Amino acid sequence: MVGETDKHDRNEAQKISIVLISLVVLLLIGGAFMLPGLVCIIDIYLTPGLDLKESAIVSFFTTVIIIIIFAVTSGDGLLGEIQFMLSAFFLFFIIQWLFIAWIF
Same domain, 55 and 68: yes
Same domain, 29 and 65: no
Query: What is the gyration radius of the CA atoms in the chain, in angstroms?
Result: 22
pLDDT at 81 (0 to 100):
73
**Number of domains present in the structure of the chain:** 2
**What range does the domain containing 103 cover?**
49-104
CB-count exposure of residue 40 (10 Å: 0-12, 13-18, 19+): exposed
Q: What is the pLDDT of residues 42-52, one digit of tens each?
A: 777 766 677 77
Which one has a higher pLDDT value, 12 or 70?
12
CB-count exposure of residue 59 (10 Å: 0-12, 13-18, 19+): buried
Whether residue 37 is predicted with pLDDT greater than 80 in this model: the reply is yes
Same domain, 55 and 25: no
**Residues 98/51, Cβ–Cβ less than 8 Å:** no
